[in-house]
Amino acid sequence: MSTARLKRKLGDLGIDTSSRKANENFCLIGTPLPPLEKSKDTGEFVPLWKQEVRDEKGRRRLHGAFTGGFSAGYFNTVGSKEGWTPSTFISSRSDRATNKNRPSRPEDFMDEEDLTGMRDDQKLVDEHEQMELLGGTQDEMSKRGEGADDKDAITLALERSLLPAPKDSVGARILKKMGWRIGQGIGPRITWRQREMAFGRDPDVPSDDVDEEAKKHVYAPRDTPLIIVERKGNFHGLGYDPGLGLHASLGVAPEASKQSSDPRLAGGFGLGALNDADDDDLDVYDHSQTHGRNRHAYDANDVHDEERVLMSSRSQGARDSGKVAQPQRPSTGQVTFRDGRQPLNGFVISEKPVAEDLRFPIPDVPKDWTPNPKLVWEREKANSKDKENAAIPPPSQTQSHAQWKTGISANQRGAVLGETPLPSAPRSIFEYISKKDQERIKNIAASRFGPPSTSDDPLPGPSLPTPPTITHTEPHIAQAALHGFQPFTTDPSKQARYTAYLHAHADPGSGAIPPAQKSGQSPEEFAKEISDYAKSAALFRPVSGAMAGRFTSAAVLDLGSKIIEGLHTPAAQPEEGADSMDVTEEKPKEEVKEEVPKVHAARLGMYGVLTREVCTWQPARLLCKRFGVKDPDLEVPVDTSGPSAQAAAPEFKGTEPADEFAGASAGAAQVEGGSSGSSKRDVANIGMGEDDGQGDGVLTYERPGMDIFKAIFASDDEESDEEKDRMDDVDEMDEPPAVSAPAVPSKPGPDVKPPPANGIVEDVDLATFKPTFIPRGSKPKDAEKKEKKNKKQKSSKGGALVSFEVDEDGGESLSLTAARQKPRDRDSERPRKKKRKDREGNGGEDMWVEKPPPDIVKALPVINLSPDEGGQVSGQESGPPRARKRAIDFM
Amino acid sequence: MAPSRGPQALARTLHKTLSNHRGPVHVVRYAKGTAKYVLSGGQDRTIRLWNPDLGTEIKKFEAHGYEVLSISVSHDNTKFASSGGDRSVFVWDVTAGVTTRRLAGHMGKVNVVELNADATVLASGSYDSTVRLWDLRAPARAPIQILEEARDAVQTLHVDATTIIAGSVDGHVRTYDLRKGELRSDFVGQPVTSAVPSSDGTTLLVSTLDSHVRLFDTTSGKLLNAFTGHNHTSYRCRACFGHAEATVVCGDEDGAVWAWDLVDATVLQPNPPPKVHDKVITWTEHHPIDPGEMVTCSADGTVKVWRHSS
């Protein structure tokens, strides 16, 4: 409103209201006027009832639909202005089915978005629908296939034509519209003769059942049988038969004699008349040759396969032969199990017994034979030596599967043939180093990492059977795991193998042999075992670093001497012993290395400087007090830069203000530290949790200066002055009637009140003066008095330094006044006060109604005061003002 | 009877056996002043006040819920402090026989408690490896200061005019010097079970669990003497100075009281000393004034007062 008026006014003045200048805002405090032109600010607040919903094209939506009313959806969508008015039925001969009164379609109620959505939905072919090509879905085809064995083509076709099409595809629908029916072939119609030929019948052969009428018609072409490819739903390889026995699947043919004499030849390319059937020509995918080898009591494949053959050829002859070729099953009734029971109906007892495992008799042990494992070990050793010597294991030796699989590497073969190895790319940096240096490094390494290994045998890698997936453990991990938790203590043999594994990996050069594959252990098992070891080595190595010190290993449960299962091999023993010796040799060395000097000194009894550590310690101040010891005023040792900077500050005072500043701050910090009395007061952690001295400064109670007390309580003097004055007055008034003494003191009881707190301080040094809050009397009279006085002070120029009232109805007032002019003020004030008092008294604005004094008192003042009235007033002129009026004043 | 040379012989004649305690006695302390009385505390959760001269029990103080491990008597014998398994320090009024104050705050059992010279500050060392200093003058409940330098249980404390000496199982003897505002940690290397300074404060007698009693120079931390021969490996035993600090006395785990010459560290006769207690001697204390009296307590449940045979 006001903006519009302002705008008009400015327009009258000839100022362009839309210019930037006119809209400039100079408002610093308060709410600026709204801009002159309507802002385009979309974030502007609009009350709820003014808000509008618009779509992305800026059209208004929700036309009052949510506010109620009939206009819902009128503008953008549908209906009339009145809303959903029902249209009346109109019948007109002239105006038929025009656009006007045609039945409403859903499209009529749609807007653009809906229409585009609908158009998107209308597609020629719905890709979601299951495509059916002539025969329907796969399921149906298979269903049809099952029933095909006992139905001929005609019934099938009949059935097809009779049965409703499960769901027509678009193509089928088009074909149907073109006149095609299910069960017919596609193509131009053919004559009866053509049809007969197509069915493989001789049209010229007369038959009884063919009537003449049939020859006059044209027929639809013969339906082309659909080649149905069986879906492969499994993961078997091509040609694999799941029902095959062990021998059959391995391809071993123990019963070759049973095989039919003529091999089934692979289809496709035929054999020449002169060619014999070769191995290559045999149909490898032919299952029939395996039938005979099946040893199942009941072979499901048997019937199935024959039927499959039957089905695949749909020609008449094949069908007929298939019917003939139904297997002649022996009647199940006659054959029984050995115990007389009959097999289940439909099952046949196999004539051949189920193949048993081959068993060999155990060789006879000579009577005078005594076990001598040493012989075996020696032989093994010799073997291993042989292995080392010979690159290739002799073929006569039993080979594991893995060995057999890997075969001989090219290098090995080359070595056997005596070839010079091909120059390959150097694999290690050591190969670039000269021989001499290599030796030197080796020596250094050997001397550092333990005793040099005397046996310089090569890695047992090539000779030993390498498991297919050998897991490797880093030497340091293995070394650590040796000292760590032993996971297989329950299984001593496994534990022994585990430690052997660790030893082998901890020091690969030491010649410790990793556990070899056990006899009777498959390579997979061995690989798994090794990987288990690697895992547990990674898992159970002791915690390293700082964490290690926090744990102590629990006491090891001593289960007596460890029993090692299996054959005792003395060859392994010394090696392990040597290894453990190495470990024990190394261990104390490490400990010695870790030993702190002071521990070492203490052990040697060299107490003194080495074992003593001196650091600062700040005793609590109270502790010092209790002990009667002076608080050791510790220097701030943390702030090392502080004192130096401070010392340097005077030198660079002129040139480097930054240094000066640093010095100053350091000094300040030091002062702070000193005052708080804590040596560790770090500036960085002040206010943080670690700050021990937190809150010290806040909570420490310091006795304020005497001036404060003076400032606060100095009014007491005045009060006492006043009181004294008043008492004087009272004395003046009351002394003569000594009789009333007991009664009167009870009267001025209410007079004894908190000091009137007019903030006037006498004899206060300006330099030390501090403003104080003084509670004021809550009586309006006092407030008035105060106000008046303040006014007075304000008027008297230069009197008060600062004086302001916080609130007028007697809360608190802060008054800062100087002592200098106070007497004058008071002097000038007093008469006024007195006058006011009198006025008030006359006006009867007294605060309390005083009990009328006892008669005797009443009587006495009349006697005493009446002559004194004038004098009293004059006396009060010069004397200090009275705090409040008394009953006497009103009389 | 004074021997012509060498230190005075140890009082080895059994004067009285105070055997009212049931179970091991952990601590026995002389009263201050003329030390006419003895306070003992034991596993039976009681503190008993004895007249060692007559061998009679004067009073029994019962408030502890667990064993009593340490007692400290104030300078005026009006009150004493005790501590033990119940993780708080009790301050007792001797005549009333009730606790005047219970200082709770330790996280573990309180192994040792010590009052300062005028019983205004109480120091308590605990299994929780802290030493807490409590103000007995103000009613404040919180300790004045907590000394957390020890890495293991604090086993022994000594408080004198300006220093607090704490011996810990971590093998350190820590001397907190209030005047200098410094902490001197001396590494002994073995768990410290007792640390007793000489009266002039220049030497410190430390007994450790490696069967050694060592005498250290407090100013430099150097070893002055080592006293060996006894058996002290697993219990808290206390070594103390003999009369006039001419000898070192320590009861060992076999129940024998050993005495050494302070200067030349030789074992005083009889060597080896006879077994006088059935079990480990947990506390040995020499009479502060009387040259011929000593008191020992043992895990066999007895407190024995020793005097010269004369």
Q: At what angle do helices A641-648 and A657-676 cross, to 10 degrees?
A: 130
Using pLDDT thresholds of 50, 70 and 90, give the confidence band for residue A638.
very low
What does the H/E/C string look like for B166-234?
A: EEECCCEEEEEECCCCEEEEEECCCCEEEEEECCCCCEEEEEECCCEEEEEECCCCCEEEEEECCCCCC
Using pLDDT thresholds of 50, 70 and 90, give the confidence band for residue A399.
low
Q: Report the b/e string of A118-133 with b at 16+ CB within 10 A.
A: eeeeeeeeeeeeeebe
Tokens of A742: 């007991």
- Using a CB–CB cutoff of 8 Å, tell me whether A611 touches chain B: yes
**How many beta-carbon contacts under 8 Å exist across A and B?**
93
Chain B partners within 8 Å of A630 (Cβ): 179
* Contact predicate A734/A728, CB 8 Å: no
Report which of A264, A308, A262 is spatially closest to residue A286, judged by C-alpha positions. A264
φ/ψ of residue A385, rounded to 5: -65, -40
CA dihedral A220, A222, A223, A229 (to 10 degrees): -160
**Within 13 Å, how many C-alpha atoms sit on residue A514's CB side?**
29
Using the predicted structure, report yes or no on whether residue A408 has a pLDDT greater than 60.
yes
Structural element, H or E, at residue A639 = none
- Taking the C-alpha atoms of residue A167 and residue B78, their distance in angstroms, rounded to an integer, is 111
To test the contact with chain A by mutation, choose from B173, B187, B212, B220 the residue with the greatest count of A C-beta atoms within 10 A, namely B187
- Taking the C-alpha atoms of residue A869 and residue A875, their distance in angstroms, rounded to an integer, is 10
Cβ–Cβ gap B178/A632 under 8 Å: yes
φ/ψ of residue A632, rounded to 5: -70, 110
Using the predicted structure, report yes or no on whether residue A512 has a pLDDT greater than 50.
yes
* Contact predicate A529/A501, CB 8 Å: no
What does each C-alpha distance from A738 to A75, A857, A891 come to in angstroms?
105, 10, 21
Q: What is the pLDDT of residue B167?
A: 93
Residue with tokens 């070759």: A256
Q: What is the pLDDT of residue A695?
A: 47
- pLDDT, one tens digit per residue, over A172-225 is 888 888 888 888 888 888 888 888 888 877 777 766 666 777 778 888 888 887
Chain A partners within 8 Å of B228 (Cβ): none
Cβ–Cβ gap B179/A618 under 8 Å: no
Q: Report the b/e string of A742-753 with b at 16+ CB within 10 A.
A: eebeebbeeeee
- Taking the C-alpha atoms of residue A275 and residue A717, their distance in angstroms, rounded to an integer, is 147
List the single residue in A with minimal CA-CA distance to B188: A602
What does each C-alpha distance from A874 to A2, A822, A861, A877, B293 come to in angstroms?
64, 21, 18, 5, 93
Q: Name residues whose C-beta falls within 8 Å of residue B61's C-beta, 6 or more positions apart in sequence.
A: B46, B47, B48, B49, B82, B92, B97
For chain A, what is the mean pLDDT?
A: 61
Shortest Cα distance, chain B CAs vs residue A793, angstroms: 51
Amino acid at A305: D
Using pLDDT thresholds of 50, 70 and 90, give the confidence band for residue A345.
confident
* A173 three-class SS: helix
Sign, CA torsion A282/A283/A289/A295: positive
* Contact predicate B38/B4, CB 8 Å: no
Cβ–Cβ gap A617/B176 under 8 Å: yes
Residue in B161, B183, B214 nearest the CB of A617: B183
Report which of A337, A358, A333 is spatially closest to residue A346, judged by C-alpha positions. A333
List the single residue in B with minimal CA-CA distance to A626: B120
* Contact predicate B230/B257, CB 8 Å: no
φ/ψ of residue A150, rounded to 5: -110, 15
Using the predicted structure, report yes or no on whether residue A820 has a pLDDT greater than 50.
no
- pLDDT, one tens digit per residue, over A573-591 is 444 444 444 444 444 444 4
Using pLDDT thresholds of 50, 70 and 90, give the confidence band for residue A740.
very low
Q: Name residues whose C-beta falls within 8 Å of residue A686's C-beta, 6 or more positions apart in sequence.
A: A693, A694
Structural element, H or E, at residue B40 = strand B38-42
Report which of B1, B10, B6, B3 is spatially closest to residue B240, judged by C-alpha positions. B10
Sign, CA torsion A538/A539/A540/A546: positive
* Contact predicate B176/A617, CB 8 Å: yes
Low-confidence residues in chain B, pLDDT < 50:
1-4
Amino acid at A606: M
Q: Residue A618: exposed, middle, or buried by beta-carbon count in 10 A (0-12, 13-18, 19+)?
A: buried
Higher pLDDT, A835 or A11: A11
Tokens of B170: 């971590």
Note the ipTM here. Answer: 0.88
Cβ–Cβ gap A602/B226 under 8 Å: no
Note the pTM of the prediction, 2 decimals.
0.38
What does the H/E/C string look like for A587-614?
A: HHHHHHHHCCHHHHHHHHCCCCCCCEEE
What does each C-alpha distance from A800 to A200, A413, A777 come to in angstroms?
138, 118, 21
How open is the CA angle B51-B55-B58, to the nearest 5 degrees? 45
Residue in A605, A616, A623 nearest the CB of B182: A616
Chain A partners within 8 Å of B173 (Cβ): none
Long-range contacts of A320-328 (CB under 8 A, 24+ apart): A327/A302, A327/A303
- Taking the C-alpha atoms of residue B310 and residue B307, their distance in angstroms, rounded to an integer, is 8
Q: What is the pLDDT of residue A569?
A: 58
**Within 13 Å, how many C-alpha atoms sit on residue A99's CB side?**
1
